[in-house]
């Protein structure tokens, strides 16, 4: 049989590790939304002395790559401190799975974000975070590193799809080197909006295509 | 892992019927000449005869005459030919306004979008929750400069059938030409041009166990149609390019092999699928009309789970189906059809299309429903949206 996934992806998809809800988690992250597609929930149990993640669980409303990445992420994060776990990247997870089709990158990055969100939640609940950061083009740029270019399987910053970012009074303007009728234009735009609109001081996001 | 694949994606394409291949073979190995005029050589005259016989079969399946049938390379070409051909022919005379429905398949939808870029105005008619076009809106949108209405006969994803009699009547009253993409209804749901005044009909062979790469366009006598692709004078100077005679002969054979009895059998598979799913799996929604539906389509949303996960699990167990989920599509966009009938991304995300064909059985339905029942409960168990 021919599948677009590696044996390891299929294995994690069929038998995902650490699945389920956690009662009274120390940290909880929910990324994605049913309106846009995939969704991942990550639950943490952290040792307050050592900051080590002692237990981790996930739930997924997503495709095979999403489920498999979430599964591998929980394995990677378990036993690590929250600072170590924060640095687990999407690339690491993908490598661990033996690779993913480029077009599926955006489904798998969600799992990494779910983990980071759960750590942020833990930190906020335990007074470990500083004040809210004001949104600058650099902040937007770092958010856009989580938007995948389905043609390359890498993010849209690294693949130089983003040509300009303006932030003005809560209004963010993002210029893309992509025509509006491109096969992936709608999907990329939706992804950008999802990532940037959630910043606390952003009121409007405009994505501008070439034509 | 399993003995055979159970193929339930017959709206994507179908398995060729051996009898079709047998009918085509002589035109590859014996009568392989191009179609010549009656002044040509014998093999070419025989080839021409085969082509014209095939044309006659397609024509009579619709209640048309043979000279109203143009063979094409398939439904994409047929719809391009119809829309671009009529638009080019009437642009100067009548105007630059076109009407299509919101849930058309890509050949019609993207042709309309392309014309829009060239300065045409296009209205996209809404459909109701069942996928049925809003006829009042259609009436209101037809203007003096409207050159063509293009509304599909059956939907590619949800199988909803439009009331072509009512649509044709509106177009006749307003004196506007009507094209319909019948790719997913041809030979499955009846259409008779001697009763329904449609002007152009798109058809395809590969959806009825015929060969790929061949289709036809019905063009009512007198319909203005400019040639949109340059080439030779074949098909009465309506479509350039060497005639695909084996394809046309195979297409005709495929038409002859479809029977009323077969269509009744397909609708029994459809009804049984829907019945079992609704009785045995909670939180499901039927997409498309319950009654105005092609006999071979069942499209169901399984809430709280994602389509590609379901299709991959099904594939691993030997079933082929498709989904309207964004994760499955080439553009990573959710199905415009499910969104068009008022569904949200969530409804598209968990939708599965089962389409039946000649080689399916009741056992296939039982097997796929048994499998999907397990898969859905397995995926719901890990879904953050599902309240366990």
pLDDT at B387: 79
Dihedral of CA atoms B72, B77, B79, B81 in degrees, nearest 10, equals -80
| Residue B116, C-beta contacts closer than 8 angstroms, at least 6 positions apart | B122
Say yes or no for a CB contact (<8 Å) between A61 and B383.
yes
The answer, for B331 touching chain A at a CB cutoff of 8 Å, is yes
Q: Which residue of A has its CA nearest to B2?
A: A1
The answer, for B175 touching chain A at a CB cutoff of 8 Å, is no
pLDDT at A104 over 90: no
Q: How confident is the model at residue A98 (pLDDT cuts 50, 70, 90)?
A: very high
Distance from CA of B319 to the nearest CA of A (A): 12
Say yes or no for a CB contact (<8 Å) between A36 and B385.
no
Burial call B119-148: b when 16+ CB within 10 Å, e when fewer: ebebbbbebeebbbbebeebeebbeeebbb
Average pLDDT, stretch B330-359? 87
A107 catalytic per annotation = yes
Residues of chain B with CATH 3.40.640.10: 18-257
pLDDT at B345: 81
Q: Which of B65-69, B152-156, B306-310 has the lowest mean pLDDT?
A: B306-310
Chain A residues closer than 8 Å to B381 by CB: 19-20
pLDDT at B2 over 60: no
pLDDT at B243 over 90: yes
pLDDT at B332: 67
Chain A residues closer than 8 Å to B345 by CB: 34-37
Strands B200-204 and B177-181, by their bridges, are: parallel
Topology, domain A7-125: Sufe protein. Chain: A (3.90.1010)
Topology, domain B18-257: 3.40.640
| Residue B256, C-beta contacts closer than 8 angstroms, at least 6 positions apart | B57
pLDDT at A35 over 70: no
Q: Is the ipTM of this complex over 0.85?
A: no
pLDDT at B29: 98
pTM for the model: 0.89
The single-letter DSSP state of residue B160 is B
The answer, for A59 touching chain B at a CB cutoff of 8 Å, is yes
Give the integer Cα–Cα distance in Å for B249 and B286: 38
DSSP H stretches of helix in chain A: 7-14, 64-77, 82-86, 90-96, 105-125, 137-144, 185-197
Q: Which of B2-11, B119-128, B143-152, B169-178 has the lowest mean pLDDT?
A: B2-11
Task: Give the count of beta carbons closer than 10 Å to the beta carbon of residue B72.
Answer: 28
* Element spanning A166, H or E: strand A162-168
- Would you call B349 exposed, middle or buried from its count of C-beta atoms within 10 A (0-12, 13-18, 19+)? buried
Q: How confident is the model at residue B3 (pLDDT cuts 50, 70, 90)?
A: low
pLDDT at A148: 80
Say yes or no for a CB contact (<8 Å) between B384 and A1.
no
Give residue-wise pLDDT tens across range A159-176.
Answer: 889 999 999 999 999 999
Give me the long-range contacts of B57-62 (CB less than 8 A, separation at least 24): B57/B252, B57/B255, B57/B256, B58/B203, B58/B216, B58/B251, B58/B252, B58/B255, B59/B218, B61/B187, B61/B255, B62/B191, B62/B192, B62/B193, B62/B201, B62/B218
pLDDT at A152 over 70: yes
Residues of chain B with CATH 3.90.1150.10: 259-381
Chain A residues closer than 8 Å to B387 by CB: none
Task: Give the count of beta carbons closer than 10 Å to the beta carbon of residue B226.
Answer: 14
> Are B201 and B171 spatial neighbours (Cβ–Cβ below 8 Å)?
no
CATH architecture group of domain B259-381: Alpha-Beta Complex (3.90)
Say yes or no for a CB contact (<8 Å) between B385 and A34.
yes
Give the integer Cα–Cα distance in Å for A129 and B247: 69
Average pLDDT, stretch B255-280? 98
Q: What is the average pLDDT score of chain A?
A: 89
Average pLDDT, stretch B88-116? 97
Chain B residues closer than 8 Å to A59 by CB: 382-384
Q: How confident is the model at residue B10 (pLDDT cuts 50, 70, 90)?
A: very high
The answer, for A180 touching chain B at a CB cutoff of 8 Å, is no
Topology, domain A137-210: GMP Synthetase; Chain A, domain 3 (3.30.300)
Where in chain A are the domains? Answer: 7-125, 137-210
């Amino acid at each position: 049989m021919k599948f677009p996934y590696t044996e390891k992806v299929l294995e994690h998809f069929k038998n995902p590790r650490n699945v389920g809800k956690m009662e009274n988690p120390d940290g909880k992250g929910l990324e994605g939304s049913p309106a846009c597609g995939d969704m991942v929930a990550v639950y943490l149990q952290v040792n307050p002395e050592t900051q080590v993640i002692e237990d981790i669980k996930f739930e997924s409303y997503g495709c095979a790559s999403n489920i498999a990445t979430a599964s591998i992420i929980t394995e990677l994060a378990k036993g690590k401190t929250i600072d170590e776990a924060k640095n687990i990247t999407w690339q690491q997870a993908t490598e661990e799975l033996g690779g993913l089709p480029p077009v599926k990158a955006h489904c798998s990055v969600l799992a990494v974000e779910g983990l980071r969100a759960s750590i942020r939640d833990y930190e906020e609940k335990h007074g470990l975070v500083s004040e809210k950061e004001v949104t600058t083009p650099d902040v937007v740029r770092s958010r856009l590193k989580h938007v995948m270019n389905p043609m390359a399987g890498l993010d849209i910053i690294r693949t130089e799809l983003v040509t300009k970012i303006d932030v003005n009074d809560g209004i963010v303007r993002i210029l893309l080197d992509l025509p509006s009728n491109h096969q992936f234009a709608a999907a990329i735009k939706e992804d950008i909006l999802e990532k940037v609109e959630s910043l606390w001081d952003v009121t409007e996001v405009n994505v501008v295509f070439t034509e | 892992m399993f003995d055979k694949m159970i193929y339930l994606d017959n709206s994507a394409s179908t398995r060729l019927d051996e009898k079709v291949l047998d009918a085509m073979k002589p035109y590859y190995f014996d009568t392989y000449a191009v179609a010549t005029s009656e002044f040509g050589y014998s093999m070419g005259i025989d080839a021409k005869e085969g082509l014209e016989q095939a044309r006659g079969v397609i024509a009579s399946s619709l209640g048309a005459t043979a000279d109203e049938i143009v063979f094409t390379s398939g439904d994409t070409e047929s719809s391009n030919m119809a829309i671009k051909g009529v638009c080019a022919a009437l642009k100067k005379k009548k105007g630059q306004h076109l009407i299509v429905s919101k849930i058309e398949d890509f050949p019609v939808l993207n042709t309309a979008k392309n014309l829009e870029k060239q300065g045409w105005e296009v209205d996209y008619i809404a459909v109701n929750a069942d996928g049925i076009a809003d006829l009042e809106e259609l009436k209101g949108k037809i203007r003096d400069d409207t050159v063509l209405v293009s509304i599909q006969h059956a939907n590619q994803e949800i199988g909803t059938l439009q009331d072509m009699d009512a649509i044709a009547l509106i177009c006749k009253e307003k004196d506007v030409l009507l094209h319909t993409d019948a790719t997913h209804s041809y030979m499955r749901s009846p259409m008779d041009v001697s009763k329904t005044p449609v002007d152009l009909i798109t058809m395809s062979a590969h959806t009825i166990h015929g060969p790929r790469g061949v289709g036809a366009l019905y063009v009512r006598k007198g319909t203005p149609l400019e040639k949109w692709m340059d080439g030779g004078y074949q098909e009465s100077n309506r479509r350039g390019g060497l005639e695909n005679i084996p394809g046309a002969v195979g297409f005709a054979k495929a038409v002859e092999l479809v029977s009323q009895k077969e269509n009744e059998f397909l609708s029994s598979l459809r009804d049984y699928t829907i019945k079992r799913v609704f009785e045995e799996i909670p939180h499901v929604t039927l997409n498309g009309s319950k009654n105005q539906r092609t006999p071979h389509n069942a499209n169901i949303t399984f809430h709280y789970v994602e389509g590609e996960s379901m299709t991959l699990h099904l594939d691993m167990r030997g079933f082929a189906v498709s989904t309207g989920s964004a994760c499955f599509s080439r553009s990573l966009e959710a199905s415009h059809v499910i969104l068009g009938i008022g569904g949200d991304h969530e409804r598209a995300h968990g939708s599965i299309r089962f389409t039946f064909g000649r080689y399916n059985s009741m056992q296939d339905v039982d097997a796929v429903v048994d499998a999907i029942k397990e898969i859905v409960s397995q995926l719901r168990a890990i879904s953050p949206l599902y309240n366990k």
